[in-house]
């Protein structure tokens, strides 16, 4: 087991010479310094990171998983003076060429046929080590690491904005183009294709035909055919960051019940987003949102499903629940996705001092206006497409 710093080998062509992202390298240095300060204050010798969201945070967007899966192939061992990647010989080259080039990481590797856990345990033995998992008797500090990952650093903001544009386009383009009568699974495949071709990992996909969302709020997709209404929702990941969006399409004119429930869901969502303000606690925001359910005669409506969650390097960075004590700061990302019976809406925002920034702005999508505290806010409405009977009559 040798410790080395990977140096670039002689490239076959100039096209193989990797360029160094100086801003990203500086961000990794900043995050390392934050860890070093924690280690000094807590009396730990090192920090062991084995979970994908913490690998992504520490590397400012690197993926420590095997491509196409959630299987971790690397861990990080951070001391005050060094940041070391722990990996097998099969994966180390790809990690440093594609994920960690020029970021100042060192490597400890094992042959692929030897368990990586042996390497991790060897490093932890005889040291006072903190971790995100509690492995090998280490001190689990995952709750503290949430405070490191949130709010997002300013370097993450443009990455999240770009992710928002692409995921929004993927969901809305799928909603505009899939055919009436296709199954939920077929539409989910179209949506996944649109994400994957932009190197965005589909972390969560929901395609809910008819009243599926009323019965199962966390339904994914199945073999039901889409005949009248469909809710499409996606959470995508790129550069370690997550973002979600939900849209609804109907074939033919929606019933009054569908329009009313969608409108109520939009009011609840807009209220939650509007009151996601810097310095407020989750509880402060929740109380304003819950009053909308009361005002519209459904005081227990929020009990049917989760309403929102903190987003970033992990889905659910913090819960949005009654009495939530998380304090919102500038750069906090939130996915607001309330549902009312069969209706569901969803958008991701960035909490800012001047008010929330919408990261999932629609492209050529029907809108409605919601007024909150005298402020008129444009929100996505139902997309109404011609039903098969309507097309035949023409």
Q: What is the pLDDT of residue 12?
A: 44
The mean pLDDT value for 86-104 works out to 95
With the CA atoms of 351, 352, 356 and 360 taken in that order, what torsion angle do they form, in degrees rounded to the nearest 10? -70
CA distance 354 to 156: 18
Average pLDDT value for residue range 76-89: 96
Q: How many angstroms separate the CA atoms of 130 and 135, rounded?
A: 9
Instruction: Write a three-state SS string for 63-100.
Output: CCECCCCCCECEEEEECCCCEEEEEEHHHHHHHHHHHC
In tens, the pLDDT along 361-394 reads: 998 999 999 999 999 999 999 999 999 865 555 5
Give the per-residue pLDDT at 391: 54
Q: Kindly state the average pLDDT of the residues 143-156.
A: 96
Is the predicted pLDDT of residue 103 greater than 50, yes or no?
yes
Give yes or no for a contact between 308 and 320, defined as CB atoms under 8 angstroms apart.
yes
Measured between alpha carbons, how far is 343 from 128 in angstroms, rounded to an integer? 51
How far apart CA 294 and CA 136 sit, in angstroms, is 49
7 has a pLDDT exceeding 50: no
Q: Cβ-count burial of 344 within 10 angstroms (0-12 exposed, 13-18 middle, 19+ buried)?
A: buried
Q: Do residues 359 and 164 touch, judged by C-beta distance below 8 A?
A: yes
pLDDT at 6 over 60: no
Res. 18 pLDDT band, cuts 50 70 90: low
Bridge partners of 49? 76
User: Average of pLDDT values for 45-60?
Assistant: 98
Q: How far apart are CA 344 and CA 206, in angstroms?
A: 11
pLDDT for 390: 59
For 108, the 3-state DSSP assignment is strand
pLDDT in tens, 301-335: 899 999 999 999 999 999 999 999 999 999 999 99
Residue spans per domain, the chain: 3-149, 156-393
Contacts of 318 (CB under 8 A, 6+ apart): 146, 150, 282, 309, 310, 324, 326
Residue-wise pLDDT for 179-223, tens only, equals: 999 999 999 999 999 999 999 999 999 999 997 888 898 999 999
Instruction: Kindly indicate the confidence band of residue 2, based on its pLDDT and cuts at 50, 70 and 90.
Output: very low
Q: Across the chain, what does the average pLDDT equal?
A: 93
Predicted pLDDT of residue 67 = 87
pTM of the model: 0.92
Topology (CATH level 3) of domain 3-149? Creatine Amidinohydrolase; Chain A, domain 1 (3.40.350)
- Flag whether pLDDT at 227 surpasses 80: yes
> Is 50 exceeded by the pLDDT of residue 171?
yes
**Which residues are within 8 A (CB) of 339 and not within 5 positions of it... i.e. 6 or more apart?**
213, 217, 265, 304, 305, 345
Which pLDDT score is estimated for 327?
97
| Residue 310 and residue 146 in contact, taking contact as beta carbons nearer than 8 Å | no
What residues pair up with 205 in beta bridges, in sequence order? 234
Q: Same fold for the domain at 3-149 and the one at 156-393? A: no
Domain 156-393 - what CATH class?
Answer: alpha beta
Q: What angle do CA 362, 365, 371 make, to 5 degrees?
A: 75
Question: What are the beta bridge partners of residue 367?
Answer: 380
- pLDDT > 90: percent of the chain: 86
pLDDT band at 165 (very low <50, low <70, confident <90, very high): very high
Q: How far is 8 from 84, CA to CA, in rounded Å?
A: 17
CB atoms within 10 A of CB 245: 26
The strand pair at 46-49 and 367-372 is best described as unpaired
How far apart are the C-alpha atoms of 388 and 19, rounded to whole Å? Answer: 52
Q: What's the pLDDT tens digit per position in 234-244? A: 999 999 999 99
* C-alpha to C-alpha distance for 28 and 33, rounded to whole angstroms: 9
Residue 10 has pLDDT above 50, yes or no: no
Digit-coded pLDDT (tens) for 152-163 = 999 999 999 999
The three-state secondary structure class of 228 is coil
Separation of alpha carbons 187 and 9, rounded Å: 45
pLDDT of amino acid 334? 98
């Amino acid at each position: 087991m040798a410790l080395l710093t990977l140096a670039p080998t002689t490239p076959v062509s100039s096209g193989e010479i990797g360029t160094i992202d100086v801003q990203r390298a500086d961000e990794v240095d900043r995050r390392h310094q934050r860890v070093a300060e924690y280690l000094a204050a807590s009396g730990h010798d090192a920090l062991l990171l084995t979970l994908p969201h913490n690998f992504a945070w520490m590397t400012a967007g690197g993926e420590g998983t095997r491509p196409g899966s959630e299987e971790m192939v690397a861990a990080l061992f951070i001391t005050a003076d060094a940041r070391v990647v722990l990996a097998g010989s099969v994966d180390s080259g790809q990690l440093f060429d594609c994920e960690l080039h020029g970021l100042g990481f060192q490597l400890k590797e094992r042959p692929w046929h030897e368990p990586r856990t042996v390497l991790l345990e060897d490093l932890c033995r005889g040291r006072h080590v903190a971790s995100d998992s509690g492995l090998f008797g280490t001190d689990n500090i995952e709750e503290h690491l949430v405070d490191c990952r949130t709010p997002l650093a300013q370097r993450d903001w443009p990455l999240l904005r770009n992710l928002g544009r692409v995921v929004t386009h993927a969901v809305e383009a799928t909603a505009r183009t899939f055919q009436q009568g296709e199954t939920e699974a077929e539409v989910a495949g179209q949506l996944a294709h649109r994400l994957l071709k932009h190197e965005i990992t589909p972390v969560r996909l929901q395609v809910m035909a008819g009243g599926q969302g009323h019965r199962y709020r966390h339904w994914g997709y199945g073999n039901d055919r889409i005949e009248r209404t469909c809710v499409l929702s996606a959470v995508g990941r790129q550069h370690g960051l997550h973002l979600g969006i939900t849209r609804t399409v109907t074939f033919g004119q929606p019933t009054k019940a569908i329009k009313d429930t969608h409108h109520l869901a939009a009011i609840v969502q807009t209220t939650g987003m509007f009151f996601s303000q810097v310095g407020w606690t989750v509880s402060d925001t929740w109380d304003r949102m819950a009053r909308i359910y009361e005002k519209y005669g459904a005081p227990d409506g929020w009990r049917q499903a989760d309403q929102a969650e903190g987003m970033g390097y992990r889905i659910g960075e913090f819960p949005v629940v009654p009495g939530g004590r998380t304090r919102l700061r500038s750069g906090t990302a939130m996915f607001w996705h309330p549902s009312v019976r069969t209706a569901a809406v969803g958008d991701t925002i960035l909490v800012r001092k001047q008010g929330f920034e919408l990261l999932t702005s629609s492209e050529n999508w029907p809108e409605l206006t919601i007024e909150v505290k005298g402020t008129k806010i444009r929100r996505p409405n139902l997309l109404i497409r011609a039903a098969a009977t309507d097309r035949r009559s023409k």
